[in-house]
Amino acid sequence: MAGSLSLLRRVYLSLYNWAVFIGWFQVLYLAVKTLWESGHEEVYNAVERPLQFAQSAAFLEILHGLVGLVRSPITATLPQISSRLFLIWGILWSFPEVQSHVLVSSLVISWSITEIIRYSFYGMKESLGFSPSWLQWLRYSTFILLYPIGISSEVGLTYLALPHIKSSEKYCIRMPNKWNFSLEYFNVAVIAIAFYIPGSPHLYRYMLGQRKKVLAKSKAE
């Protein structure tokens, strides 16, 4: 029974990782192609659907951690996935005014390279039981440059959306209402930006610690 569950877990995680890998590969291909042929103004339109699919699928990783399918701590997974989903749906999809900004290109390219490496790394581990050392090095090294680029792009796009959030009053809840509750989406966006101040260094230090531990273990073997 335990062996069957273990096999089922590996098959599921393998299919999940390779499916999302394909999604991110499509995002990167379309982003680079569009950037080269049409300029950064058209990148979002070209990648919107595969980007939404690939990033939204990451929500399952929170569930994977909660039920014990993977060892990744929720404290590291939840903030990163939540901030990305907020950016994808709460900013880019909700406020088209920022979709043509050059920061969309830096965001999409940094995210997609990072995730292509990550999902291929885990996909190979689940499918074959191992991954090449060079891929492991890329998995635990490329974030050193790509993470700051991605974070800067996220913060920048949220900041650029603030005037449009305020003027549109989208997603605002006004009183009086039956819940006796009000919500200013502008304040939500400002709070989201503020969370990057403690959150980003914490996650970056965690990833550096993981890099040191994993690569040291790899050398020892």
Active site residues: 147, 154
Rounded to whole angstroms, how far apart are CA atoms 27 and 96?
19
Burial of 22 (0-12, 13-18, 19+ CB in 10 A): middle
Burial 148-163 (b: 16+ CB within 10 A, else e): ebbbbbbbbbbeebbe
In DSSP notation, 19-78 reads HHHHHHHHHHHHHHHHHHHT-GGGHHHHHHHHHHHHHHTTHHHHHHHHHTSS---HHHHH
H or E segment to which residue 2 belongs:
helix 2-37
Residue 139 in 3-state DSSP? helix
Helix (H, G, I), strand (E, B) or coil at 173: strand
**Cα end-to-end distance, the chain, whole Å:** 32
User: Taking a C-beta distance cutoff of 8 angstroms, is the pair 189, 98 a contact?
Assistant: no
